Amino acid sequence: MTRITKIAVIGAGIMGGGIVQVCAQSGFMVSLMDLDDKIISRSIADIQSSIQILVSKGKMTSEEAEEVFGRIKSVSDLSAAVRDANLVIEAIPEKMDLKKQLFKDMDKICPPEVIFATNTSSLSIAQIALATEHPEKVIGLHFFYPVTISKGVEVIPSLLTSDETLKTALNFTKDIGKESLVSKDFPGFIVNRLLPTFINEAFNLVWQGIAPAEEIDRACKLTLLHPIGPLEMADLIGLETVLSVLEYLHQELGERYRPSPLLKQLVNAGNYGKRHGKGIYDYRTINPHFS
C-alpha cells in the first residue's frame, strides 16, 4: 500500500479549496493548481479566512495555523503541482471530456505509482481511468460540500481499480478524519442518485408555481429538519454542476432525472449560484429571483 505524503489538488473552485484545507489540516503537504490564477488566489484567501475563524474560536492556535498554511503551495502549472505527489485529486468541472484530457496529461507527467482520484459527482470512474495507461490506480474520492464540515467521503473503485489502490484510498480517507462510504462505479454512486432528484423536484415546484423558492426551503428546514433547503443547497453546489449531474443521470438512468426547465433557464442566463452572486436566489438583493 502506498503511504500518502504529498497531495496535489487540481481545480481550485468550490470543492478544490476545501479539499486542500482538510488535507493540510491533517498534516499533508498539498499543492493547489487551477488554470485561472484569480481563482487560485480567491481559494487561498477563503482557506485563510476559514482557518482564521478556527483560530478566533480557539479551535486552533496561531502557530498551528501557520503550520497549516506552510503545508499549502499554490501553482498554475500542472507539472509543478504534481511533482513529488503520490496522490492527485482532480476537482475540475463535471465534464467527461475535460476530465479525460486532464487524466491523459497527468499520466504523461506522473510516475505509474501515483494514485489518481477524481472528485466526480456522478461520472464513470472506469471511463475516466481509461484515459490513462494505468487504470488500476484510478479511483473516485467524492467529497461533499462543505468539505471541512462534511463527515463522509464516497470511495468508488471502478472494475479496473486495484485492491491496492482501494486500500490506500480507504486509509487516506481515515487519515483526513472522514468516514468512507464505498459505492460501486454506477452513475451518481449513492448520494447523487438521491440528492439531484430532490433538488430537481424543488426547481419543478417553483417552475409550476406551487410555492416560491423561499417557502420550499423553509418547508424542508421546518418539517424535514434539513439544515439547509434544497434550493439554497443547489446555489451552494453551483447550478452548472447540478445541471451537469442531472443531464448525465438523465442520459444514463432515464426520465426521472430530466432536468427542470427552470434549472436550465437559470444556467442559460448565467445564474450559476451563490459564488457568482446569483442562482435561484439573488445574493445581491437577498430576495429570491424566481418566486
Q: Active-site positions?
A: 121, 142, 154, 192
Of 86-94, 126-134, 160-168, 261-269, the window that binds ligand NAD (rule: CB under 6 A) is 86-94
Of 12-20, 57-65, 155-163, 179-187, the window that binds ligand NAD (rule: CB under 6 A) is 12-20
Q: Which residues pair with 115 in a beta bridge?
A: 87
Give Dmax (Cα) for the chain: 55
Distance CA 288, CA 212 (A): 8
Shortest Å distance, C-beta 61 to ligand NAD: 30
Per rule CB under 6 A, is residue 13 in the interface with ligand NAD? yes
| List 124, 132, 183, 241, residue binding ligand NAD (CB under 6 A) | 241
| List 237, 246, 262, 266, residue binding ligand NAD (CB under 6 A) | 237
| List 91, 160, 202, 263, residue binding ligand NAD (CB under 6 A) | 91
For residue 12, CA distances in Å to 7, 18, 20, 34 come to 14, 9, 9, 6
Distance CA 24, CA 32 (A): 11
Length of the chain: 291
Per rule CB under 6 A, is residue 270 in the interface with ligand NAD? no
Per rule CB under 6 A, is residue 288 in the interface with ligand NAD? no
Shortest Å distance, C-beta 249 to ligand NAD: 12
- The residue number whose beta carbon is nearest to ligand NAD equals 13
Per rule CB under 6 A, is residue 92 in the interface with ligand NAD? yes
State the residue for C-alpha cell 507539472: 79
4 or 249, CB closer to ligand NAD? 249
Q: Are 61 and 100 in contact (CB under 8 A)?
A: no
Cell of 17: 479549496
Per rule CB under 6 A, is residue 15 in the interface with ligand NAD? yes
For residue 227, CA distances in Å to 16, 30, 168, 221 come to 23, 31, 33, 6
Of 67-75, 119-127, 212-220, 282-290, the window that binds ligand NAD (rule: CB under 6 A) is 119-127
Per rule CB under 6 A, is residue 246 in the interface with ligand NAD? no
Which residues, at least 6 apart from 202, have a Cβ–Cβ distance to it below 8 Å?
Answer: 213, 216, 217, 220, 229, 230, 231, 234
| List 145, 186, 198, 207, residue binding ligand NAD (CB under 6 A) | 145
60 or 193, CB closer to ligand NAD? 193
- Tell me, what amino acid is at 69? F
Which residues, at least 6 apart from 185, have a Cβ–Cβ distance to it below 8 Å?
Answer: 124, 125, 126, 140, 156, 157, 158, 159
Per rule CB under 6 A, is residue 34 in the interface with ligand NAD? yes
Provide the binding-site residues for ligand NAD, judged by CB under 6 A: 10-16, 33-36, 39, 91-94, 98, 102, 119-121, 142-145, 237-238, 241
